[in-house]
């Protein structure tokens, strides 16, 4: 596993019938997240004998697998979420792709899958973005969302050892805001899931594994049934410590006294929540905006009390797809409260502007986070 062979070459076989310019422009004018995909995809295979091999850029198409392929039975699958942003001058930039590659490999280790050389991962992403550059939208708040993933392909029901063959694939879809209104990001209402848990110590919570998301749908549907946008996961032991929102991390803006600077607090990476690239970027950006920062822990009672005392003034979710989504209201089985005035707060919006400014090239990237493709 994890043989360190760097494959920098992919066999490029462009689609002979790409979508026409007019049809593509129609789709790009209002891209809906995850529904329409670009003309091409990347595939790369691994097996125990050859390591990584057979890299291709080819037409977006169905994947043929035997029904006995291990992924269908034991869910050995990991993925990433990243974006390519159209810059002001028309060029295209990726945001911290090496971080996604490193997290992908951390997920691979946890799921007993082969690691992919970081250079190969980034090269695959760049190749697809270059080939499908016409698909990177120009509109405000739009981007090309990239979804690298890996599945176990060995045709076996055996459960003695992990699969001995894998498929790595990258697909891409034009995207606009994950949560949106015409006037900017809405404030979400979130549901506190006290019945279910997302991850426990020693489990796969820190990995971006499909199984974590599969197990989250029930509580997410409960959230929607209760009139909420997203589920907030609490710890698996006491069901009171705030962890994350499944597809996004959570950040709290705390103001201990009126003459103190506001501070950004986010649940610490205890092994049960996902180490978000956006989360990490915001922690780093907070200092530039004169904010304190900490990685700590907060329980549901503290969340409510600090909101009522004006010590938590804003809360937001952050992730690649969601960017920064303000949270305005919290609902539990027997409890409900509003954060601030229930609307997107100023610190949230400043952080959002700063992050998007760097991603879209409006603000100089002195942190070296963007990579022009």
37-66 footprint of ligand COI as x/- string (CB under 6 A)? ------------------------------
CA separation for the pair 354, 373 (Å, rounded):
21
To the nearest whole angstrom, how small is the minimum distance from the Cβ of residue 358 to ligand COI?
Answer: 17
CA separation for the pair 341, 313 (Å, rounded):
9
Long-range CB contact pairs, 152-157, < 8 A, 24+ = 152/69, 152/70, 152/71, 152/74, 152/76, 152/77, 152/113, 153/45, 153/65, 153/69, 153/70, 153/71, 154/69, 154/70, 155/66, 155/68, 155/69, 155/70, 156/68, 156/70, 157/68, 157/73
CA 302 to chain centre: 27
Q: Is residue 328 a contact residue for ligand COI (CB under 6 A)?
A: no
Given 81, 114, 148, 328, the residue binding ligand COI (CB under 6 A)? 81
Q: Is residue 321 a contact residue for ligand COI (CB under 6 A)?
A: yes
Alpha helix ranges (H) inside 111-225: 118-131, 210-214, 217-225
Find out whether 40 and 131 touch, Cβ atoms under 8 Å. Answer: yes
Q: Among residues 175 and 307, whose Cβ is nearest to ligand COI?
A: 175
Q: Scanning residues 236 to 265, which ones bind ligand COI (CB under 6 A)?
A: 247
To the nearest whole angstrom, how small is the minimum distance from the Cβ of residue 146 to ligand COI?
Answer: 9
Q: Among residues 60 and 213, whose Cβ is nearest to ligand COI?
A: 213
Q: Rg (Cα) of the chain, in Å, rounded?
A: 21
* Binding-residue total with ligand COI (CB under 6 A): 6
Contact stretch for ligand COI (CB under 6 A) within 63-71, 113-121, 188-196, 320-328: 320-328
* DSSP structure string for 308-353: HTTSEEEEEEEETTTEEEEEEEEE-SS-EEESTTSS--HHHHHHHH
Q: Among residues 167 and 209, whose Cβ is nearest to ligand COI?
A: 209
Q: Among residues 10 and 191, whose Cβ is nearest to ligand COI?
A: 191
To the nearest whole angstrom, how small is the minimum distance from the Cβ of residue 159 to ligand COI?
Answer: 28
Q: Among residues 81 and 328, whose Cβ is nearest to ligand COI?
A: 81
Signed CA dihedral, 68, 216, 46, 132: sign only: positive
Q: Among residues 70 and 320, whose Cβ is nearest to ligand COI?
A: 320
Contact stretch for ligand COI (CB under 6 A) within 50-58, 156-164, 217-225, 316-324: 316-324
Q: Is residue 320 a contact residue for ligand COI (CB under 6 A)?
A: yes
CA 202 to chain centre: 22
178: its two tokens: 């994950």
Secondary structure string (H, E, C) spanning 21-88: HHHHHHHHHCCCCCCCCCCEEEEEEEECCCEEEEEEEEECCCCCCCCCEHHHHHCCEEECCEEEEECC
Q: Is residue 319 a contact residue for ligand COI (CB under 6 A)?
A: yes
Q: Is residue 185 a contact residue for ligand COI (CB under 6 A)?
A: no
To the nearest whole angstrom, how small is the minimum distance from the Cβ of residue 281 to ligand COI?
Answer: 13
Q: Is residue 117 a contact residue for ligand COI (CB under 6 A)?
A: no
Q: Is residue 146 a contact residue for ligand COI (CB under 6 A)?
A: no
Find out whether 345 and 253 touch, Cβ atoms under 8 Å. Answer: yes
Contact stretch for ligand COI (CB under 6 A) within 125-133, 183-191, 318-326, 337-345: 318-326
Q: Among residues 187 and 324, whose Cβ is nearest to ligand COI?
A: 324
Residue with the CB atom nearest ligand COI in the bound state:
81
Q: Among residues 170 and 307, whose Cβ is nearest to ligand COI?
A: 170
- The residues that touch ligand COI, with contacts defined as CB under 6 A, are 81, 247, 319-322
């Amino acid at each position: 596993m994890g043989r360190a062979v760097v494959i920098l070459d992919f066999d490029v076989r462009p689609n002979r019938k790409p979508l026409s310019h007019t049809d593509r422009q129609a789709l790009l004018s209002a891209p809906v997240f995850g529904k329409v995909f670009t003309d091409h995809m990347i595939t790369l295979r691994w097996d125990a004998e050859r390591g990584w091999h057979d890299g291709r850029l080819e037409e977006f198409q169905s994947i043929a697998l035997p029904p006995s392929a291990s992924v269908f039975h034991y869910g050995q699958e990991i993925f990433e979420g990243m974006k390519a942003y159209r810059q002001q001058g028309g060029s295209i930039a990726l945001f911290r792709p090496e971080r996604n590659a490193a997290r992908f490999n951390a997920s691979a280790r946890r799921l007993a899958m082969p690691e992919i050389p970081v250079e190969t991962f980034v090269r695959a992403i760049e190749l697809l973005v270059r080939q499908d550059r016409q698909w990177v939208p120009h509109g405000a708040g739009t981007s090309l969302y990239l979804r690298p993933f890996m599945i176990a392909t060995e045709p076996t029901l055996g459960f003695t050892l992990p699969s001995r063959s894998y498929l790595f694939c990258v697909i891409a879809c034009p995207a606009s805001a994950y949560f949106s209104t015409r006037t900017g990001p809405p404030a979400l209402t979130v549901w506190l899931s006290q019945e279910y848990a997302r991850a426990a110590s020693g489990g796969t919570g820190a990995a971006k594994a499909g199984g974590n998301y599969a197990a989250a749908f029930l509580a997410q549907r409960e959230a929607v049934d209760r009139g909420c946008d997203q589920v907030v996961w609490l710890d698996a032991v006491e069901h009171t410590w705030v962890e994350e929102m499944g597809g996004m991390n959570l950040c709290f803006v705390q103001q201990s006294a009126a003459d103190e600077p506001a501070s950004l607090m986010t649940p610490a990476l205890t092994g049960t929540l996902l180490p978000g690239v956006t989360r990490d970027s915001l922690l780093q950006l907070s200092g530039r905006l004169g904010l304190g920062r900490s990685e700590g822990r907060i329980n549901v009672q503290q969340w409510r009390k600090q909101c009522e005392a004006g010590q938590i003034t804003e809360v937001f979710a952050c992730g690649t797809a969601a960017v920064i989504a303000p949270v305005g209201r919290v609902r539990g089985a027997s409890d409900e409260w509003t954060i601030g005035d229930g609307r997107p707060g100023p610190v949230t919006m400043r952080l959002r502007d700063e992050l998007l400014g760097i991603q879209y090239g409006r603000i100089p990237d002195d942190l070296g986070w963007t990579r022009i493709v």
